[in-house]
Structure 1
């Protein structure tokens, strides 16, 4: 939708067949400057050495002056190269940040009557995403959520995560049940793996996937392919959402003909779900001890109700302290809290989220 401010006349330009003046091209000039400045400094040093009478003398004073000149030229060259490299690094980081944000985009704080917060840690230094994936979307069927973990970690698993996420974002609106969504994810992963294998030998790849559907009345349905079950939180009471055996991860074996969803329970007002990847519970400290996620989660919940953002912040702080700031695997956490909104408000929130998508 295009918005035009009232009371502000639109400017019109006379039609002309002449081309508008071309903008000056800055990149060739900047490249010429980047090459010309070191050349000028080198020419200055060479001219001083060959043409200056003082540079031809061998006295102590002459040597000090000559050394100072060459030191200044060398320092200028080093600073120039450093400034150029930093400028290119900032540009690369901007491009990488835009690409990573497009893949694992920020979630809205409220979806269909649920408070939402998520955080992701990559095992690769300098990367903000890795092989872990998550998404929450409000649809006419309810709030649908995916949490997954591609084999491997860091940037090497980003392509697999992108294939699964792209398929999920389309399938959640088209498929009336979670089984149809899961089959769409399986087909998308198979296409991705075939494309990778055409470029060369491909190792065994798979993705653990957890699909949740939280209906307007709070009923939670799930399909699990090799992923850890989320935790249900109420005050300091913490328990797994379900204890059913999950299906094998996607990519290892074909899905069975029948995909019955697991009817877990109702997410009551004041309760929350914490979805996580195995990188959280498998994180170890220097002595080889696993990260105690349930205990840290119970402590983070506190005595008073807390926002999902505050709970995740405490968990991440404890996790980084446990691993000395360097987790060995990617970690993703997603928290969904029932804020107690009535069913009508929840339906309106779902419809609004679906319309925005």
Structure 2
């Protein structure tokens, strides 16, 4: 790492700055050379010990049993030292690679803040590939002037092969949510980003197909659920082949609005979804689905199908609604604990890592101000931070 002091250098002016940068670059070039010399020093020392023993030690020239045992012991020690040195070097390189990979994955699927514009956020995610924290699932929660916008998606396939598609969709979403005043505009931007990504992949994988292949990657697609939660709690959605979320309500007692009951878990089935991105072109009209208000005391549970499709040793699917109901009753005041309970049960059901990527996201209304038409429908807030 090159460090440049922010203070005033001894020699002012451009030439002084150039000298400072030159010295820093010189030190940076010398460090890898010194590291390589140190890496070669120990093997060279062990080799010198073996050669010196063989050529200069009188015991090595004898043919007796004791001399042979001593010779074998010396060379065994030399070999063990070399193996340990190589192992230590490989472990150091592995730690460096994991550190770089972790930083890259953290930028791609960055940790969510515990609260976004008064909405409490809790998230948990697991990749089917060991050693990878990012797979084929994507999520993001961003506060904008148009409201809090949420995306949950699932790329076909799982693991490291789907990371490129995750990067393309998330990068487009993070820009579009601030620029587009309406959800259909955001979804159009995601579709264009997905189309460009598939075309570039086709060019890289099949360069002989020409500059514009007719069928870039025929079986590649991503399901996407877009949500927009306004400042008044009104929720709107666009769904491209993704599972609809669950509505969680904490405490008991009837709720008159929308025919719901408090203390229950309700699947929001809000009509037929649009086709996944990449599978078919989106229709000309993108009708936004109005989901009603998300009141204080209510939370939305978003997930990818890896959660529902997780199986135990007997082949039974994970009972997500039952797990949500039990977690909501056990921890009625914390979205983080609800999510933690469901995620723990999911891992226990699958016996470790599930066979597919899985992501769980809770967005709870922790705002204190309630719009006047809904003040009689408020329950105990679901609070909590990111998991």
TM-score by length of 1: 0.90
Provide the rounded CA distance (Å) in 1 between the counterparts of 2:74 and 2:55.
13
Please report how far the alpha carbon of residue 306 of structure 1 lies from its aligned counterpart in structure 2 after TM superposition.
3.0
Counterpart mapping for 1:188-199 below 5 A: 188-199=193-204
2:278 equivalent in structure 1: 251
Q: Does the 8 Å contact 1:274/1:334 carry over to 2?
A: yes
Give yes or no for the alignment of 1:218 onto 2:222. Answer: no
Once the 2 structures are TM-superposed, how far is the Cα of residue 243 of structure 1 from its aligned partner?
Answer: 3.2
**1:224-263, aligned counterparts within 5 Å?**
224-235=239-250, 236-263=263-290
42-51 or 95-104: which moved more? 42-51
Aligned to 2:348: 321
1:89 to 76, 94, 115: 94
Count of residue pairs the alignment pairs up: 335
- DSSP-derived class of the 1:41 partner: helix
Residue of structure 1 equivalent to 2:183: 178
Instruction: Find the aligned partners of 1:244 and 1:341 in 2 and give their Cα distance.
Output: 31
Deviations 1:75-132 (A, max 9, x none): 1101100100000001000110010000011111111111001111000000001110
Instruction: Show the 5 A alignment for 1:56-205.
Output: 56-201=61-206, 202-205=217-220
Q: Cα distance, 1:313 vs. partner?
A: 1.4
TM-fit CA distance, 1:303: 4.4
Any conservation in 2 of the 1:139–1:173 contact (CA below 8 Å)? yes
Structure 1 residue matching 2:140: 3-state secondary structure = strand
Distance in 2, matches of 1:282 and 1:329, equals 8
RMSD: 1.7
> Which whole-Å CA distance do the structure 1 matches of 2:331 and 2:93 have between them?
48
Tell me whether 1:208 sits opposite 2:205 in the alignment.
no
Cα distance in 1, alignment partners of residues 34 and 241 from structure 2: 55
8 Å Cα contact 2:228-2:235 kept in structure 1 = yes
CA contact (8 A) 1:242 1:264 kept: no
> C-alpha distance in 1, partners of 2:152/2:350?
23
TM-score normalized with structure 2 length: 0.83
Shift of 1:147: 0.3
Q: 2:159 touches 2:357 (CA, 8 Å); kept in 1?
A: yes
Determine if contact 1:109/1:117 at 8 Å carries over to the other structure: yes
| Separation in 2, partners of 1:289, 1:58 | 68
**Which stretch shows the higher mean deviation, 232-241 or 191-200?**
232-241
Unaligned runs of 5+ in 1: 1-9, 345-357
Asked if 2 retains the 8 angstrom alpha-carbon contact of 1:216 and 1:343, the reply is no
Q: Which residue of structure 2 aligns with residue 281 of structure 1?
A: 308
Counterpart CA distance in 1 for 2:94 and 2:48 is 29
In the TM superposition, what is the alpha-carbon distance from 1:215 to its structure 2 partner?
A: 0.8
**Could you list the per-position Cα deviations for residues 7-33 of structure 1 after superposition, in whole angstroms to 9, with x for gaps in the alignment?**
xxx766441635233426211111122
CA distance in 1: counterparts of 2:331 and 2:192, whole angstroms: 45
Show CA shifts across 1:227-253 (max 9, x none): 000000012401122331111101111
Deviation at 1:134, TM superposition (A): 0.3
